[in-house]
Every structure is written in C-alpha cells, then in structure tokens.
A and B are shown apart, each in its own frame.
Chain A
Amino acid sequence: MKTPDWEKILPKFQLPGRYSGGEYSAYPNRENTIKFLLAFPDDYSIGMSSLGFHTVGNIVNLQPGFSCERVFAPAIDMEEWLRKENYPLFSLESKRPAGSFDIIGFSMQYELSFTNFINMLELSKIEPRREDRQDCPLIMGGGPSFANPAALSAFFDIIILGEAEPVLPEVLSLYQKEKNDRNSFLLNAAAIEGVFVPGISKTARYAIFKEFDNTYFPVSPPQALTESAHARINLEINRGCRNRCRFCQASVIYSPYREKTVEKLMEVASASVASTGYDEISLTSLSGTDHTEIIRLLDELHYSFRSLGVSAVMSSMRPSHFASGLAARMARMRKGGITLAPETPSKKLQKVIGKNISSEEIISAAVEAARLGWKRIKLYFMIGLPGEDAEDIESIISFISLVKKSSGLTVSASISPLVPQPHTPFQWVSAQDPDQLLQKAEYIRKKAPAKVSRFNKGQHIIVSILSRADASLSELLLAARKRGARFDQWSEHFNFEIWEEAFRDIGSSWEEYYFREYKTSEVLPWDNVVLEVGRESLLKAYQKAMEA
C-alpha cells in the first residue's frame, strides 16, 4: 500500500481541512505508545463540536502510555475515492490506516449515525460483526446511544456505559497490562463498574462521574479550522437536570443533577480563552438557568472577558428564570433570538409530560424580552403525546398567536414528534402514526402566524425504532448499510426507501417495530442497563402520566 501524496490529493476534495489535521491543539504524535483512534461516526464539523468527543480524547491523552488520534466519517467524495483506490480509512494526525491502531473508540451519540459507524468499519477493512473478526483493533464504544446497547452489541468488543470520566482510565490501565491477552482483558474489564462486555456481561451499571467539579475538562481540545462560524468554547456548567419531564431521556441518564462551582468555571473559562483564542463562550447544559449561581457566573464572565471582546451565550432557558435578573444579563450578550420550550400549552398534556410551564409565564418572558430589545423568539413544541386530541393541537396555534400579539416578537416554532425513549416513563407507550403526526405538524404550519419548521417523517420513524431497538435490529443496520444508507442525519442523504427495503431484507416491516407497545410486565431489551433512576420510579411516573 503506497502512501498517497496528500498535499497533491487533498485539495481536490470538498472542505479538505477536515482531513488535514494540524489544527490548533491537534493531538501530539507520540511514539511507543498504545494507539487509540477516537472515531466519530459523522462529519468532522459535528464531531469537532461535541464536548463528549473531546472529553474522551483528553482522557486518553492524559493516560500514561497512550496516544490518541482522530477520525471522522469521510464525506461522500472522500469515501468514493477510498473505495476506488482501495485505500483504508486513515487518521487525521498521522494518516495511519484505522486498522493499524490498537483500539478504535467510537463515540455513539445518536441513532442516525449508526450506519456511518458500520461504514467506517468497512472502510477500515474491519468486519462489522464481532463474531466475524480476528486480529483486529479492539472496537470500543461509548456515548448516550448505549443507554440501549441491544442493537449495537453485535458490533462492539467492549462498551463504556455512561460517563467516561470515572471508567475509561481504569479500562485503559487494564488494557495496558493485558494487551496481549484479549480474552483475559475482556473478562476482567467486565467486572469494572460502567463496563458492558457483549457476550460476557449480563447487566451493567451506567456510570456517573461523582467528582463533576473536578478536572478532566478539555481546556484546549483540537479546534476545527473550517467553518469557524461555529467555533466557540463549550463550557459545561452543570450536568443532569433538576426537572424530570417524562419524555426526556437525558434527565434520567445524567441523573443526579450536578454542577460546577463558579470558581472552577472561571478557571476553566480563562484557560480556554487563553488557549483557544475563541471569542464566544457557550454555556452548555440541559438547563443552564438551573445553575444555582447562574447570575454570579454571567456577571463574572461578562466583567472578566468584556475587554477581550469575548462574550458568553446561553441557548435555552426556563421562562420563570428569565423574568428575574437574568433577562437584563442576557440582554448584554450577543442577541440571536430567545429560545423557550413550552412543549405544550395544554394544561392536560402538561400533566401528562410532567412539565408545568404556564402560558402566562411564557408570555411575560416574551414581553420582557421584547422590552429589552430582542426581536425574535423560538418556541419548541412536542406533538404525539399520549392522550393528545384535536383541541390540544389547536391550543398550540392559539398560543403562538397570543405570544406574537402580546410581545410583538417574530415567532418561529419547532414542532417535534415524541420519540418514546428507553429509561423514560414513556418507554412503554406506542408511538403515534407518523402520517397523523405529519398532518398535525402541517396543520400547525398552515394556521400558526409563525415560521414553523418541518420534521422528516422517515427520519422520525427510524429514530423511534432504533431508540427502542432490540438485538434483532443489528441485522437491520447491516442490511440498510448494504443498501447504501449513510449520513442518515442529513436529510439530503437520508433515503427512507433504503430502510423500507432493509426491513424487507430481514423479513419484517417498519410498522411492526414502530407501533410496538411494551407491557409493563415485559422484560425490555435495555433492562440490562442499570441506572440511578430505577424502574420503579419510571413505572410510577408512567402510571401518573396515563391517569392524567
């Protein structure tokens, strides 16, 4: 295999900067180390803005005796070239073939990246199925997709369940000791809390990082040079959520709620500003305004970095907080729009989902926002909730009108259908007919005085199915991949017909899986993942929702 003249070849590809490496803080190339290839099954631009991805890279590089490199799903033109030249997928840093690494660790964060994952193994000339592999790198997986490892288990040698910080260092140490005996390594790794070894583990605990205020924060991760519009510091201020909305998986799998102190955050922010040169700090969290000292944090950030032209941004908030001193503080930030997630204005459905934000609260937040100079507001709604009727859909339309009329703001709305997720109280419910969902969304789009974004029906179906997948669906993923599925998260590449055919290939149909309703007496495919929030409490919340 001849090494290509990259300098000559790479400029021929679209956005070649995503294969070049050599960015700010690119990972060091250390010799005589165990080579870990950190892989993200989607485009460079997405992987490079993932805090989880950088956190893992940071952990590996801090581990004595290891060095980490990166690889992303190659874009279509690069994939075609790799196949035509029969050249293997290669890492960014040293351009070594993926198959020559000791470990490939995939960051699995959403269902519509699963076919990219399989494709990346194929492009690395590695058999996707574990049982078909011999003398291959250790295929490791981690990330929120493993809240339900059922369908992915067939492809991975070892899975890190939950937060990597407390688990991965121990796994890597063990690997260093036992790298010459794969079986012994896997057997011993299965005993580590937060590790699931397919074929060996029966159940496993989902790991939680207890010293959340501690280090491990990637202060200077490699920074994308392309698409610098998205370039900013991601400052994770808290993890988990104090609220327990019943549709939300993140609030369960990141439970309990933890936060970093303002002192720690300022330390991390200062170091990040100095080492990245970014001019924007994005406060990332499930619910940033829940941080007990959010006001003090925003003040500290503002006064410390103002003279450097660096500002802080926050994506979404709870309206009750907005009314307090927060609004004025947010007003001095860069004004995009303001984003609120009422989910549903229907009092009845609010009881079902367990999220009670009164319409009055939202309207007064919108009025306040307009007074402080905002021009736009974005509202998130959810449809397809259990017990939803025509009146509830009407209420979304009249609510949008009311917000617009009382605040004068330009309203945009996002309508997303409920995806029943594992480890939530809605894990047992049946998903609503996708055609009906689409009709409802279209109806709102026509009637509401706002720009309403569409959702993709096919993508919704596949996400819903893969989210609650059982082990049999690993065959579906292989079949879909074989028929050419990849980049499913990208509507321009997603092709529902491929998936329909893939279902036929495995002797089934999407309807069979999509409309599946689980009985509370049944053992669920993801019951082997043990979480802090137990089944009993989910069941209680489920019954409460059904009574509402």
Chain B
Amino acid sequence: MTLRVRIKYSKRYPATLIGHLDTMGVFQRGMRMAGWPLEFTRGFNPRIKLSSGPPLSLGVSSNAEYLDVALRRRMSAYRSGLLKEKLIEGLEVVDISEIEKDDPGINTIISGFDYQVIGEVLEKNPPFSKCSLREKDGEIFVRVMKVDGNIANPSKVSGLKGCSYKKIKTLFVD
C-alpha cells in the first residue's frame, strides 16, 4: 500500500545557506535516520519518491515550504515526530499530514508566494508584470504569481535592487 505524506517546514539561518537540492538531501537523510518506511523507485539506483514545491533561493528564509513523499505504510506518531530531531539547525518541521492517493502534487497546487522585502529599496519603479507590490506599516511586500508553470524569483522580476527577501506566505490554487 502506498501512502502519501505532505511535510510543511520552515527554513531559517543557517539552513538558508544551503540550496534547494541540498535541502532535499537533508530531508532524505533525516527521513532515513528517523526510520520512515520510505518507498523507493525500482532499479539499480533506488531513490526516495519525493517532490517539492518551487525551490527557495539561497539566503531566503521561509515559514512555509512543502514537500510530498511516498511511504510504504502508515507510521506511528512517534516515528513521524522523530524527523524533527533528525534535521539541521534552521530547518523545522511545522506539520506532517497524510494526503489522498490521487490528490494533486504540491507543485501543482501552489499558485504564488508573498515575500517581505528586507533592506533598503533603491529603485521602486519596477516592470511589475508578474508581481505586485504593497506597503503596510512601512514594510514592503511583494506577491509573485505562477506564470506558465513557473514562479519567478522576486529579485529577478520586481526591480527592487539590492534587497533580500523573506518568504512569508505560500498561496494555493483555489
């Protein structure tokens, strides 16, 4: 029996210093260490069946990242909780939930992100074709939506030069 599990996690310094693939590597190792009943692909190079949401840029923190993983069977709450202890400083499991077999993958249902802009904004006249800007209580927020299946990096589209970002919200397809 195959089971699908969705992990919601947060990423903060110093984990923000490792890239997306390496972060996936950490999760894979953490799940092995926690003894999760992982399902593997067939063949000479058995791989964990894992899919993630759009990659988070290096140096950017987030309180809501997602990944889906396939398991061979249901596991105990203890085993599931063990993953928290098997990650690295800055990576924190927020929630683990079972999803239905035919539920769409995480990448399909994410529609965009909200980022908070950190640092001084040097130029605020951007070509906002793929993103929108909003100010609240002196803070600047950027919303980046999915276009043609891709979600752009805010620094590439917003024209906010010299800024860094903090992802604060993940938006889902209704």
Contact = CB atoms under 8 A, between A and B. Distances in A.
Contacts of A275: 33
B86 A277 contact: yes
Given A279-B32, A335-B44, A309 B38 contact: yes
Nearest to B72: A307
A24 B17 CA distance: 14
A467 to B, nearest CB: 36
A231 interface: yes
A7 B13 contact: yes
Contact of A276 (B13, B33, B89): B33
B31 interface: yes
Identify the interface centre among A22, A275, A310: most chain B CB within 10 Å of its CB.
A22
B116 to A, nearest CB: 15
Give the interface SS of chain B, mostly helix, strand, loop or mixed. Answer: mixed
B28 A20 contact: no
B17 A277 contact: no
A225 B21 contact: no
A227 B18 CA distance: 9
A228 B16 contact: no
B22 A11 contact: no
Contacts of A7: 13-14, 16
Interface string A9-27: 0111000110111111000
Interface string B7-47: 00000011111110110011011111100001010001111
Given A7-B13, A226-B18, A228-B21, A278 B29 contact: yes
A347 interface: no
Contacts of A83: none
Interface residues of B, number: 31
B33 A21 contact: no
A22 B33 contact: no
Contact of B33 (A10, A19, A274, A334): A274
Interface residues of A, number: 35
B16 A11 contact: yes
Interface in B58-91: 58-59, 86, 88-90
Contacts of B25: 225, 228, 231
B3 interface: no
A278 B33 CA distance: 9
B32 A308 contact: yes
A16 B14 CA distance: 10
B14 A21 contact: yes
A24 B44 contact: no
Interface string B73-113: 00000000000001011100000000000000000000000
In this complex, which of B14, B17, B26, B32 has the most chain A Cβ atoms within 10 angstroms of its Cβ?
A: B17
A143 to B, nearest CB: 28
9 contacts: A16-B17, A22-B88, A22-B90, A225-B26, A228-B22, A277-B32, A277-B33, A309-B38, A309-B47
Given A17-B19, A228-B26, 11 more contacts: A6-B14, A7-B14, A11-B164, A19-B17, A23-B88, A225-B25, A228-B22, A277-B29, A277-B33, A279-B32, A332-B44
Interface of B: 13-19, 21-22, 25-26, 28-33, 38, 40, 44-48, 58-59, 86, 88-90, 164
Interface of A: 6-8, 10-12, 16-17, 19-24, 223, 225-228, 231, 273-279, 308-311, 332-335
